[in-house]
Structure 1
């Protein structure tokens, strides 16, 4: 499932390609025919993202809500657009190009009140200027749930996924199994600030890189990471490999149905960060 930085990139591309101009909308697959008919000819006012949710508002104050889920894809191209290939749920097109949406978990039109309800159930997004980290802290500081699980709860923090949660906990030296209420306010602030920086870089580069300058392949004389997610990381999908910092063997476990990665040397049991 795409992490939040990817969805923010998709929002920016919609704004660049269609912002302030009318779009043509169709549903070649047919499953979103009524929604496409309502959008057809409308002006795209604003493309935005909150966590993993893409929100595209049009001039009749209706918002296209897309959640890609595990299998969803958005592909962009230049006009004239070719004939749709595969099950295209929605195609938007205009003078700037076209966008094809396939296999999303959600593709729906929301009225303003429905958009507010969606946003209200999401936690603060580190990539949004209006995010309030104290909102997340209030939930984390009262919780017995491991901090690694809380960081994956989109109602607590919207946007981070499996990679960012593992990496930010490593970078701040936090035991992933530490209960939220065992985290100090200072360490939460450091985790949040790190997410802001790392995810903003992800928006800029289109990949997730989390290693500091002294741990890059060039600095360490090691081979670059080869993985379909791309990017240089400390622990994500490195189970059994030596930690780039301390040399301890990176471990993995399943937490709340997702693979969790950490270094027992840099993130000792019950540590609260360093």
Structure 2
């Protein structure tokens, strides 16, 4: 499932390539025909992300709400313009804390040129979702591109096409409905005031008897954290995921929120869930090139902890995989 950094990058992609341009909207699959008809011919005026949900405003106070869920993806084709806020001068995504190191992009991770967070001018398509491989570049300049697979919604400008496949939610909302949806979500560091968001998170999570490992995944408590960030934030805090929220020291809750602020910013900047700090240049290159080299515990079941050597545990918590170190997080 896409985590918060992915959706913020997708919203920026729409802001750069669709806002201010009239769109043709259709539902090739047919499941969103009525909604597409309502959007057809309108001009997007604002794109915003809150946690794992994206909201696209159209003229006439009409909003499109999209939640990709586990299987959803946006595929972009045509002329795709880089977002200057997350791209460096040479057109590549910036890095975290490793200045002077040439970027390396993997073939299957979040930031490869054919994957999640790599908008660029192309004749083919670029997929923006979580843990999905990019589509192959087209061999010709057919326009608009042919519909491939089950496309719930196609948005088309004169130069750019966005196809939505497999979302959990794709619906039209009024202003009031959009505001109600956002109000029900927990704080997002890139949307809400960071200090106010910290107070909201600490006050709510600190009262709950629910294990902190579940609370971090509850989008009503904090927006945008998914399986990867959950495991990594807990490890970085040396916190047992089964600890009830009300038993977590207040300062630890504050440290986790601040860590989320930092990690989310890194994710948006790089397109990758980079959760290991202070890597030397070669280690940083490996981490950019291979997912398994950029996390402390995620996806490392049975492997030795990078800190203490204890085997990383994999268990199920609330129907989602949880990775943690039983010694460092005792």
Q: What TM-score does the superposition give when structure 1 sets the normalisation length?
A: 0.90
- Higher relative contact order (CA closer than 8 Å, sequence separation 6+): 2
> How many angstroms apart in 2 are the aligned matches of 1:106 and 1:5?
18
Instruction: State the partner residue of 1:265.
Output: 327
Distance 2:289 2:181 in 1: 37
What is the match of residue 307 of structure 2? 245
Decide whether the 8 Å contact of 1:208 with 1:230 is kept in 2: no
In structure 2, the residue matched to 1:58 is 58
The yes-or-no answer on 1:108 pairing with 2:171 is yes
The 2-side partners of 1:260 and 1:193 are apart by 21
Give the root-mean-square deviation of aligned CA atoms.
2.1
Question: Are the structure 2 counterparts of residues 225 and 22 from structure 1 closer, same or farther at C-alpha, using a change threshold of 3 Å?
Answer: closer
Shift in CA distance, 116/190, structure 1 to aligned 2, threshold 3 Å = same
Instruction: Please list, as runs of the form range in 1=range in 2, the aligned pairs for 1:1-40 lying within 5 A after superposition.
Output: 1-40=1-40
> For structure 2, which runs of at least 5 residues remain unmatched after alignment?
80-142
Asked if the contact 1:239/1:249 (under 8 Å) is kept, the reply is: yes
What is the TM-score with the length of structure 2 in the denominator? 0.76
Q: Is the 8 A contact 1:64 1:109 kept in 2?
A: yes
Change (3 A) 1:224 1:125: closer
CA change 1:267–1:225 in 2 (3 A) is farther
Does residue 1:235 correspond to 2:297, yes or no? Answer: yes
SS state of the match for residue 47, structure 2? strand
Contact conserved, 1:24 with 1:94, CA < 8 A, in 2? yes
SS of 1:98's partner is strand
Q: Residue in 1 aligned with 2:232?
A: 167
5+ long unaligned stretches in structure 1:
269-274
Match in the other structure for 2:116: none
The answer to whether the 8 Å contact 1:141/1:180 transfers is yes
> Match of 2:220?
155
- Verify the 8 A CA contact 2:286 2:293 in the aligned structure 1: no
Cα deviations across residues 63-119 of structure 1 (Å, max 9, x unaligned)? 100011111111001063212111111111113411000111111100011111111
In structure 1, which of residues 180, 196, 216 is the aligned counterpart of residue 261 of structure 2? 196
Question: Do the aligned residues in 1 keep the contact of 2:29 with 2:150 (CA within 8 Å)?
Answer: yes
Report deviation, 1:266: 1.7
In structure 2, the residue matched to 1:187 is 252
Distance (whole Å) between structure 1 residues aligned to residue 223 and residue 20 of structure 2: 27
CA distance in 2, matches of 1:44, 1:223: 39
Q: What's the CA shift for 1:51? A: 0.8
Distance in 1, Cα, partners of 2:286 & 2:271 = 21
Tell me if structure 2 keeps the 8 A contact 1:18–1:96.
Answer: no
Q: Which moved more, 1:145-154 or 1:123-132?
A: 123-132
- Structure 1 Cα separation of the partners of residues 46 and 59 of structure 2: 9
Q: Could you give the per-residue CA deviations for residues 177-230 of structure 1, whole angstroms, max 9, x where no partner exists?
A: 11101112211111011111111111111121111124x69359x976987x66
The count of aligned residue pairs is 265
1:177 matched to 2:242? The reply is yes
Asked if 2 retains the 8 angstrom alpha-carbon contact of 1:147 and 1:179, the reply is yes
- 8 Å CA contact 1:36–1:90 kept in 2: the answer is yes
